[in-house]
């Protein structure tokens, strides 16, 4: 976490980025983040830590929540398709990944309709 020493926010009060009762509305935090030389590192750290509160890495907590949710959907899709390519039954995939059968069937169906080949 050496990047933190170069962060534009290092000398700012934490409540500027986590205002009580303001939700994700942090215009001053947005302004500071846009000038930060380590904005990418901060965002990556926030996503790695699954920090979805306040303003970090140039994004609101809500925006980071959406990114993490989208990342999770892509991850499960890849895993479903990997197991499907190994000829696992959809119900076995669902059980192994602890997801609903319908999700696995939807992913497999969408993949089949796209005409893509799993390597």
For 99, list phi and psi in degrees, rounded to 5: -130, 165
Longest dimension (CA), the chain: 55
Burial of 31 from C-beta contacts in 10 A (0-12 / 13-18 / 19+): exposed
Return the H-helix or E-strand segment holding 29.
helix 27-34
Q: Which pLDDT does position 24 carry in this prediction?
A: 65
SS3 state at 79: helix
Q: Which pLDDT does position 45 carry in this prediction?
A: 92
> Residue ranges per domain, the chain?
2-66, 69-114
Give, for all 119 residues of the chain, the pLDDT tens digit: 789 999 999 999 988 898 777 566 788 999 999 999 999 999 989 988 989 888 999 998 888 888 888 777 767 888 899 899 999 999 988 888 888 888 899 999 998 888 765 54
Locate the DSSP E strands across 28-108.
55-56, 59-60
Q: Which pLDDT does position 22 carry in this prediction?
A: 59
Whole-prediction pTM: 0.62
């Amino acid at each position: 976490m050496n990047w933190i020493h170069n962060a534009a926010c290092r000398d700012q009060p934490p409540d500027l980025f986590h205002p009580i009762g303001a939700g994700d509305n942090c215009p001053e935090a947005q302004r500071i983040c846009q000038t930060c030389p380590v904005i990418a590192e901060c965002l990556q750290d926030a996503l790695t830590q699954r920090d979805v509160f306040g303003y970090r890495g140039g994004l609101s907590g809500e925006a980071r929540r959406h990114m993490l949710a989208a990342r999770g959907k892509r991850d499960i899709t890849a895993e479903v398709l990997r197991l499907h390519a190994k000829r696992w039954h959809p119900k076995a995939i669902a059980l192994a990944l602890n997801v609903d059968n319908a999700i696995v069937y939807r992913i497999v169906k969408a993949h089949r309709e796209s005409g893509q080949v799993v390597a």
